Structure 1
Amino acid sequence: MLKKLLFILTLIALTPTSALAQMQGYLGTDGYFHIKGLQANTKYTIDLGGMPIIKAANSNSCGILRIAASGTIKQSDRIEIKDEKLNLTYGFTNTNIPIKETAKCDGTIKAEREIWNDDKGTTYISGLSPSSAQTIRLLTSAPTRNIRANICGFLSFKLGEPRPGAIIIENQAFVLSGLQSGGGIACRKGKLFVAYPAPVLVAAVSAVTWRSQNPISFSSNTRIASISGGGGTSWSPPPSNPNPGGGGSSATCPTGTTGTPPDCVTPPPPTCPTGTTGTPPNCVAPPPPPPPPPVEPPATCPTGTTGTPPNCVTPKPTPVSGRMCKYAGTLVAIGLPPNKELLAVASEHGRNDRYATSDSGGWVQFDNFNYNATYEGDPASVVVQYKKDNGNWENVDNYPGYSGFPNFVYIPSIGPCK
């Protein structure tokens, strides 16, 4: 939990943008590629530039492979077919392909290696190992992914191996070669956050220009077809294969790459360990994050009050026992009829009468009460009366339901309030 909190504290908020001119991308250390500056909640088609579309297929018992249905490949597309059993690769350009009838396979092997279209536009090749695995590679089209940008206007997806040469979106290309990886990216409540230190963002280049400069060529050991207008097909030996008639290939990947031709992969540049920055071997550990701010204790109401700030309430004075109490020259009574005009009578002739109105809970206080009031030379008693609807005053103990309220209370017996 603490690590998560510290990560959030170090995030830097960025304002999302929707203008395509502001598209920027970067590669995360987790292998995800991020593109920001997109239209929020909009679906985009991503091309994995520099990678062919690869499809697994099988030749029939006659050694014939259906390469693609009508409309799948375009004019001038380059295609490779690898006979996995013989480890031989054949390539051709989809131009001037002859049209002829494709007979139903009866098990007779068609040894002549030819390429043709049927009258429906479906493309075939013969002369392959019968009933065996074949790999079809469409060199001039890249695999695509349909990904929706989130509310922050960015999208992310995991790069596999081998990595493409560029990520192409909206006719713009993000070149991956030599790209330095950085921290993560997140969307929180419509705000874009990027880890600190911020990664190096790259701008896109023209996809048309990048494709023209980075075409996918036939593999070095590919036998390339030459198709004449009359329908004949001839095959050139692979230029780098010293044994063009053999079944194997001695080609190797160029220096600095790994894998087996034609699937050579340029390894990603070295990166600093997680938690450090810089470029190997100059990796630097970032300074520790600042300590979290001290936690302020929750506010409390002042002594003698109740509730939660700012709604602090001073408790009303109440008797320790009985129905009356006194404080600072004030007489308090409880358990009276609510919201009534009341009268505290402490002597004759009205000289010490005090008037007040009870609250909704039947609590009342009579200010400036004379605790020294006397009656015929002795300390007086106090009686509480209520005002009737006809304007007359009546003792509270006669109010319906309040017969338990004392009629007379001897003033010296009234104790202090709590």
Structure 2
Amino acid sequence: MLKKLLFILTLIALTPSAALAEMKGYLGTDGYFHIQGLEANKNYSVDLGGMPLIRSGISNSCGILRIATSGTIKQSDHIEIKDEKSGSVYGFTNTNIPIKETAKCDGTVKAEREIWADDKGTTYISGLSPSSAQTIRLLTSAPTRNIRANICGFLSFKLGEPRPGAIIIENQAFVLSGLQSGGGIACRKGKLFVAYPSPVFASAVNAITWRSQNTIQFSSTTQIASISGGGGTSWSPPPSNPNPGGGGSSATCPTGTTGTPPNCVTPPPPTCPAGTTGTPPNCVTPPPPTCPEGTTGTPPNCVSPPPPPPPPPPTCPEGTTGTPPNCEAPKPTPVSGKMCKYAGTLVVIGLPPNKNLVAYASERGAYNDRFTTSDSGGWAQFDNFNFNATYEGDPASVGIQYKKDNGDWENVDAYFVYIPSITPCKTN
């Protein structure tokens, strides 16, 4: 009864208003960002400006990571790779990348850190921790959401943490810093309602100008690659690299090692002159030579046994499928029925394969609509689904529609389910 009363009081506080022709942004106190003045029922691509596009990968047993396939990264893109095992961060600009053949990994670690692309345009980096997790950050790309404007001509979505610097749509940028937030706005039966007093809407700025003034730089610990025209790769030390010497302006290697940080190496121990054995200064002349253990014959005609068979090919960890480094965890599926939930995500099976889908809770609206595409097996997941959605004060139901070849949306009647009945997924 109390929930229904609060809902009625909220509607009383809202006043109807026509949708605006000019595109404007508004930040609600509930963390939702609204963009008004759009074409009703049209899909829009929304960029989270100022945030890098983050992907994960796994280096193979040779310490080589496939960074991106052809077309994934553009010329002059800035890319960072964090080796999660060593904690080192490497960065480069996708310009003048040398083309060379990528040899098949035989388990031998490629210690030299290089960047190259094969003749198909796939980009690689070597010299990483073998068979280890790697984080790839595309600094010049931003996460994108595809959201459909409602019948009132606005769209809404919840901002996460950390927040982006700007919301970019149709080459316009709404800068979040300093925005005044207020009460909500809503769409009821095709009419736009705004809270009283009226919210303060913000105008957008040119997205190209904003991006040029707010580029994401390499982190302070990044070792940046310098790629020569001949194909060689050299690396700058991280700016925050400490100076072990303690007295000069340049970092030096620790006592007992040689080289220039971060490429410090321990020299080999002293050895006796040729033709003697022992440890200096206790060097002695050895007896007549014999063949090494495991060989036969008389020096210098020693014969070694045939080499051992090559090691077995790498396999994916238990509980995953595929071939390294392309290992995949099992998809979450319902224990029973055709729907389940996990970590705020709605999972549905048995759908038409390879179709555009929308999941909605009772009344259609930007607060509840979630879009995705089913895979070839009819499996789909809808991120950030509102499992607490209500309709007229009571828990809502979820419905599924798919987009037919003619562009119409068709209900999947068997999937209209009461939200509280949706149980957690199994993930193994």
TM (norm. structure 1) is: 0.57
CA distance, structure 1, for counterparts of residue 171 and residue 110 of structure 2 = 43
- Per-residue deviation, residues 99-120 of structure 1 (Å, max 9, x unmatched): 0000000000000000000010
Aligned partner of 2:12 among 2, 9, 12:
9
Give the aligned partner of residue 107 of structure 2. Answer: 107
- Is it true that 1:83 corresponds to 2:96 in the alignment? no
| Matched positions, count | 244
Corresponding residue for residue 304 of structure 2 = none
Q: Where do 4+ consecutive residues of structure 1 move more than 3 Å?
A: 243-247
Secondary structure of the 2:66 match is strand
Mapped to 2, the partners of 1:211 and 1:45 lie a distance apart of: 17
- Asked if residue 197 in structure 1 is aligned to residue 201 in structure 2, the reply is no
Partner of 2:242: 242
C-alpha displacement at 1:198, in angstroms?
A: 2.3
Q: Tell me, in whole angstroms, the C-alpha distance in 1 between the residues paired with 2:227 and 2:30.
A: 47
Question: In 1, are the aligned partners of 2:15 and 2:194 still within 8 Å (CA)?
Answer: yes
The one-letter amino acid paired with 2:163 is R
Structure 1 window deviating more from structure 2 (3-12 vs 222-231): it is: 3-12
Paired residue secondary structure (2:19): coil
Matched, 1:44 2:44: yes
**3-state SS of 1:202 partner:** coil
**Cα distance in 2 between the residues matched to 1:126 and 1:27:** 44
Distance in 2 of aligned mates of 1:84 and 1:178:
35
**How much does 1:240 deviate?**
3.0
SS at match of 2:82: strand
Counterparts of 2:237 and 2:23, CA distance in 1: 45
Q: Is the 8 A contact 2:69 2:122 kept in 1?
A: yes
CA distance in 2, matches of 1:4, 1:150: 21
Deviation at 1:157, TM superposition (A): 0.6
CA deviations on 1:198-242 (whole Å, 9 max, x unpaired) are 222100000000001000111111110000000000111122332
Is 1:156 the equivalent of 2:156? yes
**Where in structure 2 are the equivalents of 1:12-411 lying within 5 Å?**
12-17=15-20, 19=21, 22-242=22-242, 245=261
Secondary structure of 1:4's partner? Answer: helix
Q: Is the 8 A contact 2:237 2:262 kept in 1?
A: no
Provide the secondary structure at the position in 1 that maps to 2:211. helix
How far off its partner does 1:6 sit?
1.6
How big is each residue's C-alpha offset from its partner over 1:309-331, in whole Å with a ceiling of 9 and x where there is no partner?
xxxxxxxxxxxxxxxxxxxxxxx
- Equivalents in 1 of 2:240, 2:39: separation in Å? 47
* Whole-Å separation in 2 of the counterparts to 1:94 and 1:86: 24
CA distance in 1, matches of 2:41, 2:81: 39
Which whole-Å CA distance do the structure 2 matches of 1:161 and 1:242 have between them?
A: 32
In 2, Cα distance between the equivalents of 1:220 and 1:93?
16
Aligned equivalents of 2:175 and 2:241: distance in 1?
31
Deviations 1:144-179 (A, max 9, x none): 000000000000011111111000000000001122
Write the letter of the residue equivalent to 1:3.
L
Per-residue deviation at 1:246? 6.8
Percent identical pairs in the alignment equals 80
User: The residue matched to 1:72 in structure 2 has which SS?
Assistant: coil
Distance 1:26 1:86 in 2: 43
| Structure 1: gaps (5+ residues) | 248-418
Distance 2:49 2:65 in 1: 27
- For structure 2, the residue ranges without an aligned partner over 5 or more in a row are 244-250, 252-260, 264-428
Work out the CA distance in 2 between the residues paired with 1:134 and 1:197: 49
In 1, Cα distance between equivalents of 2:67 and 2:113: 14
Alpha-carbon separation, structure 1, partners of 2:162 and 2:14: 31
Letter in 1 for 2:200: V
Distance 2:237 2:200 in 1: 46
Q: SS at 1:187's partner residue?
A: strand
Shift of 1:87: 0.8
Q: Write the distance in 1 (CA, Å) between the matches of 2:127 and 2:136.
A: 15
Distance 1:16 1:28 in 2: 17
Report the AA paired with residue 106 of structure 2: D
Q: Using the alignment, how far apart are the partners of 1:13 and 1:100 within structure 2?
A: 63
